[in-house]
Structure 1
Amino acid sequence: MNTLVTTPNIPRPDDFYAELLALHEGLSKAQSDAVNARLILILANHIGDRAVLSEAMAAARDG
């Protein structure tokens, strides 16, 4: 079983953040929300480990 990685783990995180922001440029709130939902589902499918996904959801909710 894997565990959720919560320590910095993305190379060049500022570049990733800029790309994430650019993904939403020109979109309405509804379109932006839909893109976020699709991205979450794509990444959740990639992770594929229900325990890790549950851990991530709890961490996101708890802030």
Structure 2
Amino acid sequence: MGELITKANIADADQFYEDLIEAHADLSEDESQALNSRLILILANHVGDMHVLAQALHAARAKAR
């Protein structure tokens, strides 16, 4: 069982952010939300560890309030 990594862990975070913004370029709000949904499901499948995914959901929900 893994643990959620919450410290910076992307080698080139600025490049990732730029790529993420570019992926949303010229999309409608609905298309952008659909892209985000697909990306979340793809990454969740890659992680595959339900314990880590539960930690991520909890962390994301805590930040939403």
TM-score when scaled to structure 1?
A: 0.98
Query: Does the residue aligned with 1:62 lie in a helix, a strand or coil?
Result: helix
CA distance in 1, matches of 2:46, 2:22: 22
Structure 1 stretches of at least 4 aligned residues deviating more than 6 Å after TM superposition: none
Partner of 2:43: 43
Aligned AA (1:42):
I
Partner of 1:59: 59
Partner of 2:13: 13
TM-score when scaled to structure 2?
A: 0.95
Partner of 1:30: 30
Query: Does the residue aligned with 1:26 lie in a helix, a strand or coil?
Result: coil
CA distance in 2, matches of 1:59, 1:24: 24
Q: Aligned residues: percent identity?
A: 51
Structure 1 unaligned blocks of 5 or more: none
* Partner deviation per Cα, 1:5-43 (whole Å, 9 max, x = no partner): 000000110010000000000000000000000000000
